[in-house]
A and B are shown apart, each in its own frame.
Chain A
Amino acid sequence: MNKRNLFYITYSLLVFCVLLFLAIPSCRNVPSDPGRPHPNKRPDTRLSNLPVNDSTGQYIREGRIPEKTLQWIGDDEDGFIIAYRVRWTDSTQIGINTTLWTTILNITSLGEERLDTLILVQGSPASIFGIYNFFATFDPEPRAKAERDRIRDSLATGRPFAVPYHSGVVPGDSVVGASPLNFEAPTKGSFIFASPGPRNKHKFEVKAIDNNNVEDPSPAYTYFWTLPSDTPIVTISIAPTTLSYVLRYPTEKNPGLNFAFGAIDPSTSDIVFSWAVDTLLAPETTLRWSPWSPEPTAVVTALDLRLTQTPRDTHMFHVRARNRWGVVSRIVSLIFLARVPPIDDPSWPRKTLIINDNRVSGSGSVDSNLTRAFYSDIMNSLMRDPLTDTLITAYRIWTVITGANTSSFPPIDTLVHYTHVLLLVEQPLPLIGPEVNQRRIETNRQGILRRYLNVGGNLIYSGTPNIKSAILPYNAWASEIFHVQPPPNENIFPLQNTQPDFVRAIGIEGYQDIRFDTTRFPDSVGIRSIAVNYPIGFGRAISLFDSKRDSVGFENAPLGVRYLGVAIPPARKTFSVVHFAFPLYYALRDDVFLALRKAYVDIQSGD
Chain B
Amino acid sequence: MNTRTNLLPFGGENTFLVNLRSLEARKAGDIRLPIYANLNAIRRNPDGDIFNCLDTLYWNARDSALVLGQTYAPPDVLTTLDLTITAFPFVTFFNGFFTQPILVEVPPQLAALQRLPAAGQSPLNIKIEENRLTRVTVTFDLDSSLVRKAETFEYRPKFYVSSVQIF
Give the number of residue pairs across the A-B interface with Cβ within 8 Å.
Answer: 35
Chain A window 537-572, contacts with chain B (Cβ cutoff 8 Å), 1 for yes, 0 for no: 111110000000000000001100000011000000
Say how far A77's CB is from chain B's closest CB, in angstroms: 44
- Please give, as numbers and ranges, the residues of chain A lying within 8 Å of B149 by CB-CB distance: 252, 566
Q: Are A607 and B148 in contact (CB-based, < 8 A)?
A: yes
Instruction: Please give me the residue from chain A that is nearest to B102 by CB atom.
Output: A537
Tell whether A253 is near chain B: CB-to-CB under 8 Å: yes
Say how far A476's CB is from chain B's closest CB, in angstroms: 14
Tell whether A332 is near chain B: CB-to-CB under 8 Å: no
- Please give, as numbers and ranges, the residues of chain A lying within 8 Å of B151 by CB-CB distance: 252, 537-538
Q: List A238-270 residues whose CB lies under 8 Å from chain B.
A: 251-253
Q: Are B97 and A534 in contact (CB-based, < 8 A)?
A: yes
Q: Are B150 and A574 in contact (CB-based, < 8 A)?
A: yes
Tell whether B58 is near chain A: CB-to-CB under 8 Å: no
Tell whether B38 is near chain A: CB-to-CB under 8 Å: no
User: Bound state CA distance, A516 and B147, in angstroms?
Assistant: 40
- Please give, as numbers and ranges, the residues of chain A lying within 8 Å of B29 by CB-CB distance: 143
Tell whether B96 is near chain A: CB-to-CB under 8 Å: yes
User: Bound state CA distance, A252 and B151, in angstroms?
Assistant: 9
Tell whether A535 is near chain B: CB-to-CB under 8 Å: yes
Tell whether A233 is near chain B: CB-to-CB under 8 Å: no
Q: Are B96 and A558 in contact (CB-based, < 8 A)?
A: yes
User: Bound state CA distance, A252 and B148, in angstroms?
Assistant: 12
Counting chain B CB atoms within 10 Å of each CB, which of A253, A537, A540, A607 scores highest? A537
Instruction: Please give me the residue from chain B that is nearest to A557 by CB atom.
Output: B97
Tell whether B7 is near chain A: CB-to-CB under 8 Å: yes
| Among candidates B7, B30, B97, B148, residue contacting A541 with C-beta atoms closer than 8 Å | B97
- Please give, as numbers and ranges, the residues of chain B lying within 8 Å of A143 by CB-CB distance: 29
Q: Are B7 and A534 in contact (CB-based, < 8 A)?
A: no
User: Bound state CA distance, A145 and B96, in angstroms?
Assistant: 56
Tell whether A6 is near chain B: CB-to-CB under 8 Å: no
Q: Are B148 and A558 in contact (CB-based, < 8 A)?
A: no
Q: List A132-151 residues whose CB lies under 8 Å from chain B.
A: 143, 145-146
Tell whether A536 is near chain B: CB-to-CB under 8 Å: yes
Q: Is the interface of B mostly helix, strand, loop or mixed?
A: loop
Q: Are B148 and A538 in contact (CB-based, < 8 A)?
A: yes
Say how far A568's CB is from chain B's closest CB, in angstroms: 9
User: Bound state CA distance, A558 and B97, in angstroms?
Assistant: 8
Q: Are B7 and A536 in contact (CB-based, < 8 A)?
A: no
| Among candidates B7, B30, B97, residue contacting A535 with C-beta atoms closer than 8 Å | B97
The contact size tier of chain A is 20 to 34
Instruction: Please give me the residue from chain B that is nearest to A483 by CB atom.
Output: B151
Q: Are B30 and A566 in contact (CB-based, < 8 A)?
A: no
- Please give, as numbers and ranges, the residues of chain B lying within 8 Å of A541 by CB-CB distance: 95-97
- Please give, as numbers and ranges, the residues of chain B lying within 8 Å of A558 by CB-CB distance: 96-97
The contact size tier of chain B is 10 to 19
Q: Are B30 and A565 in contact (CB-based, < 8 A)?
A: no
Q: Are A538 and B96 in contact (CB-based, < 8 A)?
A: no
Q: Are B150 and A535 in contact (CB-based, < 8 A)?
A: no
Say how far A505's CB is from chain B's closest CB, in angstroms: 15
- Please give, as numbers and ranges, the residues of chain A lying within 8 Å of B98 by CB-CB distance: 534
Q: Are B150 and A566 in contact (CB-based, < 8 A)?
A: yes
Instruction: Please give me the residue from chain A that is nearest to B29 by CB atom.
Output: A143
Tell whether B100 is near chain A: CB-to-CB under 8 Å: yes
Query: Given contacts A146-B30, A252-B149, A538-B148, are A607 and B7 in contact (CB under 8 A)?
Result: yes
User: Bound state CA distance, A535 and B97, in angstroms?
Assistant: 8
Say how far A485's CB is from chain B's closest CB, in angstroms: 9
User: Bound state CA distance, A101 and B24, in angstroms?
Assistant: 48
User: Bound state CA distance, A537 and B30, in angstroms?
Assistant: 46
- Please give, as numbers and ranges, the residues of chain B lying within 8 Å of A566 by CB-CB distance: 148-150
- Please give, as numbers and ranges, the residues of chain B lying within 8 Å of A539 by CB-CB distance: 95
User: Bound state CA distance, A607 and B100, in angstroms?
Assistant: 18
Say how far B155's CB is from chain A's closest CB, in angstroms: 15
Chain B window 5-31, contacts with chain A (Cβ cutoff 8 Å), 1 for yes, 0 for no: 001000000000000000000000110
Q: Are A565 and B150 in contact (CB-based, < 8 A)?
A: yes
Say how far A603's CB is from chain B's closest CB, in angstroms: 15
Instruction: Please give me the residue from chain B that is nearest to A574 by CB atom.
Output: B150
Q: Are B148 and A253 in contact (CB-based, < 8 A)?
A: no
Q: Are B95 and A535 in contact (CB-based, < 8 A)?
A: yes
- Please give, as numbers and ranges, the residues of chain B lying within 8 Å of A146 by CB-CB distance: 30
User: Bound state CA distance, A561 and B149, in angstroms?
Assistant: 19
Q: List A518-544 residues whose CB lies under 8 Å from chain B.
A: 534-541
User: Bound state CA distance, A452 and B58, in angstroms?
Assistant: 47
- Please give, as numbers and ranges, the residues of chain A lying within 8 Å of B95 by CB-CB distance: 535, 539-541
User: Bound state CA distance, A558 and B150, in angstroms?
Assistant: 22
Q: Are B150 and A536 in contact (CB-based, < 8 A)?
A: no
User: Bound state CA distance, A146 and B30, in angstroms?
Assistant: 8
User: Bound state CA distance, A350 and B52, in angstroms?
Assistant: 43
User: Bound state CA distance, A146 and B80, in angstroms?
Assistant: 15
Say how far A80's CB is from chain B's closest CB, in angstroms: 34
- Please give, as numbers and ranges, the residues of chain B lying within 8 Å of A574 by CB-CB distance: 150
- Please give, as numbers and ranges, the residues of chain B lying within 8 Å of A534 by CB-CB distance: 97-98
User: Bound state CA distance, A253 and B149, in angstroms?
Assistant: 10
Instruction: Please give me the residue from chain A that is nearest to B148 by CB atom.
Output: A566
User: Bound state CA distance, A248 and B29, in angstroms?
Assistant: 50
Say how far A6's CB is from chain B's closest CB, in angstroms: 88
- Please give, as numbers and ranges, the residues of chain B lying within 8 Å of A251 by CB-CB distance: 150
Say how far A510's CB is from chain B's closest CB, in angstroms: 11
- Please give, as numbers and ranges, the residues of chain A lying within 8 Å of B148 by CB-CB distance: 538, 566, 607
- Please give, as numbers and ranges, the residues of chain A lying within 8 Å of B150 by CB-CB distance: 251-253, 565-566, 574
Counting chain A CB atoms within 10 Å of each CB, which of B7, B97, B100, B148 scores highest? B97
User: Bound state CA distance, A537 and B93, in angstroms?
Assistant: 10
Instruction: Please give me the residue from chain B that is nearest to A532 by CB atom.
Output: B97
Say how far A20's CB is from chain B's closest CB, in angstroms: 69
User: Bound state CA distance, A603 and B68, in angstroms?
Assistant: 41
Instruction: Please give me the residue from chain A that is nearest to B100 by CB atom.
Output: A536
User: Bound state CA distance, A582 and B148, in angstroms?
Assistant: 29
Closest 8 pairs (CB-CB, A-B): A252-B150, A574-B150, A566-B148, A534-B97, A537-B151, A535-B95, A566-B150, A558-B97
Add 6 more A-B contacts to A536-B100, A541-B97, A566-B150 (CB < 8 A).
Answer: A146-B30, A252-B149, A534-B97, A538-B151, A558-B96, A558-B97
Q: List 8 A-B contacts (CB under 8 A).
A: A146-B30, A252-B150, A253-B150, A538-B148, A538-B151, A540-B95, A566-B148, A574-B150
Seen from chain A, the residues whose Cβ lies within 8 Å of a Cβ on chain B are 143, 145-146, 251-253, 534-541, 557-558, 565-566, 574, 607
